[in-house]
């Protein structure tokens, strides 16, 4: 039994190593299995969509196979069909497949008219992405000229999702100077095309050739590179898979290392193929000698939620008020979290299992109350987890198959026989969510969640952290529509002394308000509770449950929008407040916060990363105040401000994903994660197209020497209410993670500063170079670094590969600021002769107080351009280029006051 347990654990770790998502994808003999493509429930029923998904994957598989040198193909795909579509005999119930772990989502464009395919990527280069997004029009081939065949687009996005590579174009900077010449940001550089302007505004469009800005040497801002339809170049898929000849990824031989794109910035100038070659997929496969089979498809239709609570009532549950807290959390779950029409059963266990309730469909308050009355009230006996699980399988099978059913398993005890039912769990097809309560819960508990795709959570015995209620609050359906899910607006606790008050406000925004519930728990005596709605009206009618030590108030109808104020008073006891709600409208997506760690297990001194994704539908919420609370097994809590600044742990600025490194390990064992998010005067919903990693929109083509323009992308109305501020409050459980190898205190400083990823350079008057970047910390993105090392070179590869041999800049006067501050530094290069067209490359390395060094930053570049003198007075110029005095290009800034230099040159010449 021990050998089996070990082998399962090793397999689980192998499958989840480095994964940010809950994907079920596995690589089996060169073929990708377990891919889940989900159709959004808001899309109208259309069976042709299913066939279009099949066609996309079938076309993509041989393209992927050839692009990866006969190494990978698509083997099997599950298509998730919405519950509200008609049932058919060939539609079967999913097992572990859910909308939550879908790899591809097909949904309506948001904002409307924006059919860009894209992949959500939270991590660094080489780390798996989260999910691919496609629109129905894209699948139907209606965007063929703009993005190319959908099978090719899928392979482009697959490279983002599976191998963590980035795009090789740049929408913000389409051209750059190299040796004084304009070059398009493309890979490979051998892609042929022309540069044109096509600008539409207010219904009229301008078409013309590109002009050079005489002060910068760069093409004007609206200039675009148009590829020719007939090419011979085979690379690269991450630039423009839409070009017919492109069938390969860029390799180290043809990769354009100078191009200012995300692939170079994030991947240290490495080509796409180099990153793929370093992946676990590549290392565990060899090229095939035969053609791969055609992909197979399974059609899975979402059904009613089937769930069984499996709750520990062993003797240890009497400790630290655990059984009472279990009742409080489970009661809120049954009252509020679990969705209408769900089937719910309940099993308790000690040394044996006890069926408390057979499956009951929740159709109203009565069904919820009946289940609540089944919660355990006494504790005794030992801990037999497998007995509880087996009994739950029996309860479910009396009415349904266990495929796709869910089990919520809570325990605080150890059980040396838990591995004895691992095989039954895997064969059941059920998803198991685990709640580890207290410091002694079975160490193997998380393996059940990992092998079934369930949520793993941990709650300590510190009642004021409200961890158990947060854990149950995280267990809404993985298939439920966002407008039906319970959303946690607040979760706070405090131990009060001597009649202290616990005061605060909860913001109910316009996207929520239905089924709003305020719940208060206590440890000794009922507290005094004062609650006022936004109009100042005091709210009464709290339902008191003295046995469970909780009280709650359900707000009828839709709760008023605004700040709800509360004041709670008690003496020498712990109080908690939880506020939940649902979407105010079935058609208006609510603001949601989902949080997670980058992995389930941490090993000192490797840092963890905490993420919070804040969106309304697909639109990101920017400039929110986001804080993570991380609690260790020792009861120590650490608060982290999460940032969406594109620096440190944060991959992309202003994408609604807030991130931060966690390095404050203090013990081995479980850590719980909770995120608070608050939107105020600065927070706003991003109505424009946010930064996304996805296939390039091609504005037009050169066909037989003629320019054939594609329809322009939809314009964003800057006065749209979507861009206005949003006020909201949310809390979200980020689950739990387990750490190991943490040394005893004092814990040594083994954390270097994080890599600088947003270094930018501009040339100023007098050949000065001005650098800006976001400050790293002493420990990754915490504290302040000790010093910076800045080096320059005229060779981008020498700077990358021989950084310590490159010319060092004097930084004696540069004192590092606190992490996440803006750093600005200006210097004049030495030992480099500036001539017209000179390219200079710059990189920075941060050093901490114990001389630990960061990775070398992204490489910034400047290119010197000396403009020609202006025409003499009286000269006529028929085709002079337009002069843009304030023209700036990211990473390149040419003398704003160049006339002085020109004037001095003319005086010198006249003096001769």
> Is 248 one of the catalytic residues?
no
Domain range annotation of the chain = 17-168+276-301, 305-461, 481-585, 589-681+725-738, 760-864
pLDDT averages per 10-residue partition of the chain, 912 residues: 33 36 91 98 95 98 98 98 95 95 94 91 95 97 97 98 97 92 95 91 82 88 94 97 98 96 96 98 97 98 96 97 97 96 97 98 96 97 97 98 97 94 96 96 94 95 96 91 92 93 97 97 96 97 95 97 97 96 93 95 95 92 97 93 96 95 95 96 74 91 94 62 78 96 94 97 89 98 98 96 96 97 95 84 97 97 80 48 34 34 34 38
CA 562 – CA 489 distance, rounded (Å): 12
Q: Which CATH number is 589-681+725-738's, of 1.10.3720.10, 1.10.1040.10, 2.60.40.10, 1.10.10.10?
A: 2.60.40.10
Q: Is the separation of the CB atoms in 366 and 585 below 8 Å? A: no
Output the pLDDT for position 870.
67
Fold: same for 305-461 and 760-864: no
Residue range 481-585, CATH number: 2.60.120.380
pLDDT of 902: 31
Q: What is the pLDDT of residue 874?
A: 52
Whole-prediction pTM? 0.90
The CA-based dihedral angle spanning residues 145, 146, 147, 149, taken in that order and rounded to the nearest 10 degrees: -20
Q: Please identify which of the residues 130, 146, 157, 339 carries the catalytic annotation.
A: 157
- pLDDT confidence of residue 199: 82
Q: What is the CA radius of gyration of the chain?
A: 30
Q: Where are the alpha helices (DSSP H) in 436-538?
A: 445-452, 467-473
Q: Which CATH number fits domain 305-461: 1.10.510.10, 3.30.2130.10, 3.30.230.70, 3.40.50.410?
A: 3.40.50.410
* pLDDT score, position 572: 92
- Backbone φ and ψ for 360, nearest 5 degrees, come out as -130, 130
pLDDT at residue 746, rounded to an integer: 92
Please enumerate in sequence order all residues whose Cβ is within 8 A of that of 229, keeping only pairs 6 or more positions apart, or say none: 243, 244, 701, 702, 703
Residue 658: exposed, middle, or buried by beta-carbon count in 10 A (0-12, 13-18, 19+)? buried
Three-state SS for 364? Answer: coil
Q: How far apart are the first and last CA of the chain?
A: 96
Domain 760-864: CATH superfamily is: Immunoglobulins (2.60.40.10)
Report the 10 Å Cβ neighbour count for 377. 12
């Amino acid at each position: 039994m021990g050998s089996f347990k070990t082998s399962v654990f090793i397999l689980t770790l192998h499958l989840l190593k480095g994964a940010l998502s809950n994907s079920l994808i596995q690589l089996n003999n060169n073929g990708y299995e377990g891919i889940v493509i989900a159709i959004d429930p808001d899309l109208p029923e259309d069976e042709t969509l299913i066939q279009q998904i099949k066609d996309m994957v079938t076309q993509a598989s041989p393209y992927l196979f050839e692009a990866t040198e006969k190494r990978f193909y698509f083997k099997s795909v599950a298509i998730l069909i919405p519950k509200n579509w008609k049932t058919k005999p060939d539609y079967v119930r999913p097992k572990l497949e859910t909308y939550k772990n879908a790899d591809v989502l097909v949904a309506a464009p948001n904002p409307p008219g924006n059919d860009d395919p894209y992949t959500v990527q939270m991590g660094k280069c080489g780390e798996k992405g989260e999910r691919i997004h496609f629109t129905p029009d894209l699948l139907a081939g209606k965007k063929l000229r703009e993005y190319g065949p959908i099978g090719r687009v899928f392979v482009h996005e697959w490279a983002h999702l599976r191998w963590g590579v980035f795009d090789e174009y740049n929408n913000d900077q389409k051209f750059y100077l190299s040796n004084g010449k304009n070059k398009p940001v493309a890979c490979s550089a051998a892609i042929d095309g022309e540069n044109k302007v096509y600008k539409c505004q207010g219904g009229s469009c301008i078409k013309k050739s590109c002009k050079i800005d005489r002060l910068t040497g760069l093409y004007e801002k609206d200039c675009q590179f148009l590829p020719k339809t007939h090419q011979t170049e085979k690379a690269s898929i991450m630039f423009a898979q839409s070009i017919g000849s492109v069938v390969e990824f860029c390799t180290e031989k043809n990769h354009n290392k100078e191009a200012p794109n995300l692939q170079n910035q994030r991947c240290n100038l490495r080509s796409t193929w180099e990153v793929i070659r370093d992946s676990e997929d590549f290392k565990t496969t060899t090229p095939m000698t035969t053609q791969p089979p055609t992909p197979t498809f399974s059609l899975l239709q979402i059904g009613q939620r089937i769930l069984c609570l499996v709750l520990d009532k062993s003797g240890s549950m009497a400790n630290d008020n655990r059984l009472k807290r279990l009742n409080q959390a489970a009661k809120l779950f049954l009252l509020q979290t679990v969705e209408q029409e769900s089937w719910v059963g309940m099993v308790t266990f000690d040394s044996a299992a006890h069926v408390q309730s057979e499956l009951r469909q929740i159709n109203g308050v009565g069904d919820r109350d009946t289940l609540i009355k089944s919660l355990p009230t006494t504790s005794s006996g030992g801990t037999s987890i497998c007995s509880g699980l087996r009994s739950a399988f029996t309860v479910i099978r009396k009415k349904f198959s266990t495929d796709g059913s869910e089990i919520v398993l809570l325990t605080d005890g150890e059980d040396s026989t838990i591995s004895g039912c691992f095989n039954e769990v895997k064969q059941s097809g059920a998803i198991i969510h685990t709640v580890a309560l207290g410091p002694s819960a079975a160490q193997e508990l998380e393996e059940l969640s990992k092998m079934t795709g369930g949520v793993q959570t941990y709650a300590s015995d510190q009642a004021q952290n409200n961890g158990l209620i947060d854990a149950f609050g995280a267990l809404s359906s993985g298939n439920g529509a966002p407008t039906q899910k319970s959303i946690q607006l607040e979760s706070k606790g405090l131990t009060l002394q001597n009649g202290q008050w616990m005061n605060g406000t909860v913001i109910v925004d316009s996207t929520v308000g239905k089924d709003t519930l305020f719940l208060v728990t206590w440890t000794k005596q009922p507290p005094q509770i004062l609650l006022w709605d936004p109009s100042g009206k005091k709210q009464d009618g709290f339902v008191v449950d003295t046995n469970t030590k909780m009280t709650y108030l359900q707000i009828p109808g839709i709760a008023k929008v605004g700040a709800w104020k509360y004041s709670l008073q008690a003496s020498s006891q712990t109080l908690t407040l939880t506020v939940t709600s649902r979407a105010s409208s079935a058609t208006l997506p609510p603001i949601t916060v989902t949080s997670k760690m980058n992995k389930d297990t941490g090993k000192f001194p490797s840092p963890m990363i905490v993420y919070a994704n804040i969106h309304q539908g697909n639109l990101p919420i920017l400039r929110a105040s986001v804080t993570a609370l991380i609690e260790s097994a020792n009861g120590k809590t650490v608060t982290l401000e999460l940032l969406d600044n594109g620096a440190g742990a944060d991959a992309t600025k202003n994408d609604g994903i807030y991130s931060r490194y966690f390095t404050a390990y203090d013990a081995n064992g479980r850590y719980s994660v909770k995120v608070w998010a608050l939107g105020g005067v600065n927070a706003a919903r991003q109505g424009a197209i946010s930064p996304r990693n996805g296939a390039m929109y091609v504005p037009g083509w050169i066909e037989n020497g003629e320019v054939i323009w594609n329809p322009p992308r939809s314009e964003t109305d800057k006065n749209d209410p979507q861009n206005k501020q949003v006020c909201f409050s949310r809390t979200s459980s980020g689950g739990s993670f387990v750490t190991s190898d943490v040394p005893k205190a004092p814990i040594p400083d083994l954390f270097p500063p994080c890599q600088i990823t947003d270094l930018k350079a501009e040339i100023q008057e007098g050949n000065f170079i001005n650098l800006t970047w976001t400050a790293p910390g002493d420990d990754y993105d915490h504290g302040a670094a000790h010093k910076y090392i800045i080096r320059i070179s005229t060779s981008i590869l020498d700077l990358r590969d021989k950084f310590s041999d490159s010319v060092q800049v004097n930084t004696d006067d540069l004192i590092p600021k606190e992490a996440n501050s803006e750093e600005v530094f200006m210097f004049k290069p030495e030992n480099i002769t500036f001539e017209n067209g000179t390219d200079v490359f710059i990189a920075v390395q941060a050093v901490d107080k114990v001389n630990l060094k960061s990775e070398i930053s992204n490489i910034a570049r400047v290119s010197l351009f000396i403009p020609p003198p202006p025409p003499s007075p009286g000269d006529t110029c028929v085709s002079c280029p337009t002069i843009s005095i304030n023209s700036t290009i990211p990473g390149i800034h040419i003398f704003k006051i160049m006339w002085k230099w020109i004037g001095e040159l003319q005086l010198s010449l006249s003096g001769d």
